[in-house]
Every structure is written in C-alpha cells, then in structure tokens.
Structure 1
C-alpha cells in the first residue's frame, strides 16, 4: 500500500528516490526544444542551461505519454529524474487536467522500483491536484489476486508518494487531494470486480461481494448510512421480473437483483442508477464465436460501476439521495436457456419477443429500470456494456450517451471533468417503429438490422423509463481494455463511468 502526502516543497531538494516533472512541447519556432511544465521549474533551474539540451540529446520532444529516465548525478537531491511528456499547451496557456491525469498514470508505471516518489507535475489548482492524484493511483493499479507472491526483485508500487503543490495548505486543494484518493479507491475496486474470473464471480457471489462492500462502507463513526437488499430467484419470480429470469434461466448460478439506498438528511434531489450485471455472456443459444467470449467476464462492468459510484457518493457525503440497482445474471447455454421466439413478461407487464439471446443486457436492464421509476427519482442513469455497435461507431475508448437532451448534456459535462471520453448519440424516430415491430408482443428485443443497433437498444430501454429524465451510457468499448495500458488506464477492467457518475452527482447536488 502506498501512502500519499500533499506537500509544498522544492522538487529539486526532495529526498525521494525519484522526482517526476512534466515537459511540454515548445511548438514551432521554439528555440532549445521542449519546455519544463509548471511545478518543475526548480528542477530545470538546478540543471541550468544544460536541461533542454539534455532532453534534446535524448530525443525527448515532450509529446503526450513520452517518458525519459535520467540519473541526476547529484544535480538534484533525488537520484532519479523522470520526465513525462504533456504535449502542447492550449492557446490560453493552461494545461488540460485530462492530459495531466494521463501523464500521472504513465509516471506511475515508470517508477515502480522506487520506494518513494515526488510528483512535481502541474498541481496549482484543485482540478490539477485531483488529476495528478487520481492519475497516479489508477495508473499504478495492478490485479494480482491470482498470481503467486511477487519476488523481491520484481517491480512494486512506491511506499510513499508525495504530490507537490504550491497551494498544498489551501483547504480546497487538500479536499481535492483527499477526494481523489477516495474516488480512485472505488474505481480500483470496480476494476477488481471486472477482472475477477467469471467462475468466481457468479450472480450470487457478486451480490454477496456488493453486500459486503456496502456493509464495510457503513462501518465506523461518521460512516454514511446505506441500505442493501438482495432479491434472489424466488423473489424475482414473485415480482415478475421476466427479463432477469429469462436471461439467467440457462445458468446453474441463479440471478440476483441488488438494490442500494443512500438517503442523507437534507437531500433535495434523487438520482437512480442502474447497471448491467451479466457476470458472463456466452450469448446463450445465439452463441458467440469462441474468440468473442474471452473478455465476457467484463459484461458486468456497468453494475460494478454504479455500485462503486454509489458508495463513493455516500462516503464523500454528497447531499443527494441515490438508489442503485444492479441486475445480475449469467447468460449460459442449457436446456433451460431462453429461446429465440420466446416472449418474456417484464416487471411491470410489458411483453418482449426475444429474437437474439445475445442481446440480453437490455432485458435485465428493463426490469431494473421499471423498478427504479417506482422510487420516483428526479433522474435515471443506466450504465452498460451493451452493444458492439457502439464500439464500431465510437471505437474502444469512447462511450456513447443517449437519452433526454438535458441529462445527456449534464453527463457529458461530468465526463469532461472526470477525464472520461464520452460522445452524444441520437435516438432517431425510426427506432420507435423498429422496437415495436413484433407481431406477437409489445416490443421486439432485436431485429437483426445491422445499422444503428446501439440506437435501437437505447430506444428499447427508453420504453422502461416511465418518461422520466434519463440517460443511457453504453460503455461497451471503454469498460474493458484488452490491449496495453495507456495514460491512467491499465489493461483489463478500467472502472469506466465511476468518476463520471460521481461528478454528475456532485453537479446535481449543487
């Protein structure tokens, strides 16, 4: 475990094993190469005129994500200088916190052998303090639950991390620093859950993990008051949750629906969160190709995100009521699996014709969304690794956001401060005709038209929102990183949407 400290000190004189500074590109016509960024001036001063030529001799240009490790030869108190590229500064001369967050993530993976690290990245505002802290915590994340104990000679996280800021004693900077660590902790737990092998995170065990997390967050003096209710397959049958039961019917591990409540005194706004919790998706009888199943343990990333965001909101003490729903099922193949052509009666009575058992997420979300409307929230957000169509449209690093225009705009604003890439997508009128195309039921679950499948899914979900203000976040791309790490995002589960949900709740609470 790393210990984090916010301090106002000279990076040139810090006694940490490594000191990290940022460097920006000088731009066209700049003489002498890249320029040291805010926070690293004293390091550049310690080197004097040799600093920029030194970087130039290493071929360091300052582009985003670029790294150079330089033994200081006693030019600094720290024996190692790590230089991180920040790219070009905007026309206003201000660095984007998103760039700084990613740079801090790169730094975390560049100093894994150091026992102590000082971060002299730009951190003169609360937003930048948050970016540096979140970026470093999340960039250094590792998942080792199933590995043998690391050998002593293998890289490990620094025991002490010092975030250097000229405003370290200001209340708002300290608050940003502490809040960033708390939120990053919940993002990391989301990653842990997503990375857990699906055989060990079935719906019952996932529900038990959520129960334990809620109880842990509620312990101790000053802890928030949270409630948690777990509905098993019998309770779901009594309620008539045909979507969750239909999807989970083919698995030996029965489905669950977890509800979390947080209602602090004085809360004037009520936010409902719904997250897709498919703990493994084989596709059911509309079975996936083998290669497409490799990462399907991640199909519960939406549920993990809304649960951890709710806990973070509660621990931050935000004055907003939150009700979170996590419908959990395993979509498997057996004699009890739902069939193409089946008609499911959803919670609330709407009937749905199933034509593609691999479009199961919208079915479990439909039940939970109706239940959310019964709590009469002011706004509903759902988060789901829902469609491959959205990945085709936006790539694997950007989420699509659809729904009520004012809610979509607010979600995108929250994503901007959270440093998560999200993009607005429409729900065209033509989708209404498509979702009502079934000849035997109220709604068609899927229609096999290749075009606009992600928009069809959003239109389908909208039918279960009761006309309330709502937005749907399709995180099928950024919810899981099957490639190498980039910025503060590591391989595997990313914890995507947690910070956006927290920042949305901050804004909603005023």
Structure 2
C-alpha cells in the first residue's frame, strides 16, 4: 500500500489538523475560535508532548518545536508516531499538516506512515485502526519532495514485508521472485540465477552454505539504470540473503535466537528496498544490486567445521564455524562485483552479534576502504535519515586472526574479540575497488516497538541509502 500523502492548498474534511509551535495559517482562521487558539498555544511541561483541542468539529494538534541541540527532523518523526497514537485514541484516520516548513511537515508525515505499518497477511482479525490520509499544505512543500518521501516509504514497507515473511514461505527462490515483481512496478531489471549458473560461476561460498538445504539457492542481479545517470560506473549494493539461519552444523541455541532467524536476509531486503525507492523516485544514479540467497541448514550433506571450500575468486577458506556463513555468501558476491568495475560497492548484512554487543540496536557498524570523503557523506546520510552509523577501524593488525594452517584464510577469528571487525577484514579480501561494509545486525530487527519503528523488521538501510543517493555528487 503506497503512502497516502497528498499536497493540498487547504484542508478538505480531514479529522485532525496539525500545527507547529502555535503557528496558524490564514486558511485556518475561519475554522477556529480565539479560545481554542489560546489553549493550543499554551506550553506543555514536556517539550516532546503536544496539545490538542477541538473547534467546530475539528480536532487541532499543536506540536512543539524541538529543544535546542535536538535533531529537528528526528524530533518531528517521533512526533508523527505520537500523533498516530493520539489519532488512534480518538479514532480519527485523516490529518492535515497545516503549518511548519517542508522539513518538519514531511518528517511528521514520515513518522505517521512508518508507525502505521502492519504485517498481518496471516491474521484472520486485522488491526481495526489505520491512517487513511495525510494532507500536506501545498505552500510549505513541493510535489517533488512529497513524491520522494512516498518513494522511500514504499521502499521501507517493501523491505519490512520481505524480512517479516516467514521462512517457510520466503525461500531464496520466492524472495528473488518478489524482488523481480517489485522491479516491474518500480522500473528496474532483475536477472535471477539458479543453481546451474551459480555452479558455473564457481561460487563456492554460496554453494557450501546451501549444501544442507533441500531448497535451491539463487543469485539475483538487480539493475536500475536511468537515461542520464550521474555516475559513469555503477554503484554496486550487495545484500546478505540468508532467508533462514539455523547456524548449520554449528547450531544456534533455539531460545531467543533461532526463532527470529528469518531476519538474516535483512541486508538483501535493504538493498531491494533502496533500489525500489531510487527507481520509483527516478533518482539519476546507476545502481546494481547483488543478492546471494539461501537458507543455512544442518542437513545430511551440510558443510561442516574443518572443511575447506574454494570461493569464486579462487581463495580457499577453512570453515571454523558454519554459523559464520554470511561472510561466505557475501564474499562470492563481492568477487562477482569486480566484473562490474564499480565506482563504489556497499554491502549490508545482519552479520555479527559482535556489532550488537558493541553499539546495540540504535546504529549500524561501518568500515571499509572507500575514501574519507565518501564515508563522510554516508555518515551524514545516516544522521539525516536517523539510520546512524558508527565507523570501526579496519587495521591490518586484525588480519592475523584470519590466518589458517591449511587454507588461504579462515572464516572466523582466533579469539572472540573484535568479531565485527574480523568479519569486515574477511570481506575486504574479496574486493579490489572502493568498498564499504555495513553490519546492520542490531537495528534491522527489533525485539519491541520503538517510536515509529515496529517490533520485528524495521527496513533499516533503505532510508540511509536513499539519502546517500539523493545527494550523490
């Protein structure tokens, strides 16, 4: 369902009208009493709260401006989520954002619609309340920016739906199909490779992880190429597509771990959602997405600790733990990316528990060989989208942990320390171009709802990448 955000020159029958910091447009004067104006302009004790009042059958809400030092856009996103709760409490499903500026109005709309997300295809009884309409005052925003917001929100919903889908339904083959269907809607191409082509490419990492499964792997190549892209060489996005991860023979504990492992393709979903958003918005950026996908199962033919496998680029890897499988499938995709001669490659993956231990669920870990200027732009995009990044070092010292006695490299470090960085050093071996790695294990899938983020899949990475592409060069 596309975000129902529309530009309007005046409100037209909306249930709720939202103003910011007591500012009233001239169009509202005929619909509101002086007494209501006065009550709305009162200052609440908590700067994060808002004041509501009714006048002539319309409910008005006044949202406070952020306190000095607070991120303005994020403040209004959170306010949008709070407004959703308020509208549910009074059972009013349409709102008109009447004052403020473009940034504040669209951020409120963003928070409202992100909060409105539900994943309920398997429920007999659906949620009774949902937002039906969000109007934005025409004088404070532009069609281009509204369409851009709708595109990124649709991309986030697309990614969330992919991650939330149960693994018995969303196999690697089914995920590839849904991404291809998304391409028909948004305007990008998808080439889906099956087992035969994957074998021909000699993708030993992807094939090894798939050995224990009864289901086929896929390798999907997504391409969005507008008529006049800004970049001469493509930006390549790589997304980890482990549709379900038992840990393989290095079996995960079932309690509070394996039960949510449908989320291990969060990187693939972020790549698909970001390209969906970019294509829908018509951004002038040539993007190629690579998604290696399979489940990781402890079947009778499963690869095991102690095995040696040969990757696409000929590198041999001693498998120390079959639950360090994500880096194996990503490595093959990163090696494939060399053929595309990318201007920049960014991979996203729910890769390590170490990233969660280091920074929790509020940010993702960033590292890589791209220039400081490129990193700076991506970090800025993280702040703008509030999908924040924390840069980790990728010093050569860490490479010692990956030395193997019998192969070129191991897939796990020699100690439990710095696991997020060791995983990055493993991936670095398969690149020869400007590259960034984003470990989204913490923020991609939440144990409980937070603000405009739902319990479960958040779609982390879509807004980040879209913000980066929107301001690229």
> What is the TM-score of this pair, normalised by structure 1?
0.84
Give per-residue Cα distances to partners, 1:210-234, cap 9 Å, x unaligned: 122112323xxxxxxx321111112
Aligned equivalent of 1:399, options 364, 386, 405: 364
Match of 2:307 in 1: 342
Conservation of the 8 A alpha-carbon contact between 1:407 and 1:471: no
Match of 1:28 in 2: none
Aligned equivalent of 2:15, options 10, 14, 17: 17
Match of 1:134 in 2: 110
Unaligned runs of 5+ in 2: none
Write the distance in 2 (CA, Å) between the matches of 1:372 and 1:45.
64
Match of 2:292 in 1: 327
Conservation of the 8 A alpha-carbon contact between 2:147 and 2:281: no
Match of 2:410 in 1: 444
Q: Aligned-pair distance for 1:448?
A: 4.7
Aligned equivalent of 2:137, options 144, 156, 164: 164
Residues 1:86 and 1:473: Cα distance change in structure 2 (over 3 Å): farther
Aligned equivalent of 1:103, options 79, 83, 100: 79
Q: Aligned-pair distance for 1:481?
A: 1.3
Give per-residue Cα distances to partners, 1:368-387, cap 9 Å, x unaligned: 01111210010000000111
Residues 1:407 and 1:351: Cα distance change in structure 2 (over 3 Å): farther
Write the distance in 2 (CA, Å) between the matches of 1:263 and 1:166.
33
Structure 2 counterparts to residues 312-461 of structure 1, below 5 A: 312-404=277-369, 405-435=372-402, 437-461=403-427
Q: Aligned-pair distance for 1:259?
A: 0.4
Residues 1:199 and 1:448: Cα distance change in structure 2 (over 3 Å): farther
Residues 1:266 and 1:89: Cα distance change in structure 2 (over 3 Å): same
Give per-residue Cα distances to partners, 1:323-380, cap 9 Å, x unaligned: 1101101011111111001111111111111101111110000000111121001000
Moved more, 359-368 or 395-404: 395-404
Residues 1:343 and 1:95: Cα distance change in structure 2 (over 3 Å): closer
Q: Secondary structure at the match of 2:366?
A: strand
> What is the TM-score of this pair, normalised by structure 2?
0.91
Match of 2:252 in 1: 288
Residues 1:365 and 1:234: Cα distance change in structure 2 (over 3 Å): same
Moved more, 331-340 or 132-141: 132-141
Are residues 1:194 and 2:170 paired?
no
Match of 2:184 in 1: 215
Conservation of the 8 A alpha-carbon contact between 2:36 and 2:53: no
Q: Aligned-pair distance for 1:140?
A: 1.0
Write the distance in 1 (CA, Å) between the matches of 2:65 and 2:317.
50
Conservation of the 8 A alpha-carbon contact between 2:97 and 2:105: no
Match of 1:176 in 2: 145
Unaligned runs of 5+ in 1: 24-35, 219-225
Structure 2 counterparts to residues 238-257 of structure 1, below 5 A: 238-257=200-219
Match of 1:155 in 2: 128
Aligned equivalent of 2:94, options 108, 116, 121: 116
Moved more, 419-428 or 237-246: 419-428
Q: Secondary structure at the match of 2:121?
A: coil
Write the distance in 2 (CA, Å) between the matches of 1:200 and 1:104.
33
Aligned residues: 462
Are residues 1:259 and 2:257 paired?
no
Q: Aligned-pair distance for 1:307?
A: 1.3
Residues 1:140 and 1:85: Cα distance change in structure 2 (over 3 Å): farther
Residues 1:202 and 1:38: Cα distance change in structure 2 (over 3 Å): farther
Q: Aligned-pair distance for 1:47?
A: 2.7
Aligned equivalent of 1:88, options 38, 48, 67: 67
Give per-residue Cα distances to partners, 1:274-309, cap 9 Å, x unaligned: 000110111111111112112111110100111121
Q: Secondary structure at the match of 1:272?
A: strand
Write the distance in 2 (CA, Å) between the matches of 1:312 and 1:187.
8
Aligned equivalent of 1:490, options 442, 454, 460: 454
Residues 1:15 and 1:268: Cα distance change in structure 2 (over 3 Å): closer
Q: Aligned-pair distance for 1:87?
A: 4.4
Match of 1:7 in 2: 8
Write the distance in 1 (CA, Å) between the matches of 2:25 and 2:324.
50
Conservation of the 8 A alpha-carbon contact between 1:258 and 1:325: yes
Q: Aligned-pair distance for 1:268?
A: 4.5
Conservation of the 8 A alpha-carbon contact between 2:366 and 2:437: yes
Q: Secondary structure at the match of 1:261?
A: strand
Q: Secondary structure at the match of 1:325?
A: strand
When the two chains are superposed, the root-mean-square deviation of aligned CA atoms in Å is 2.5
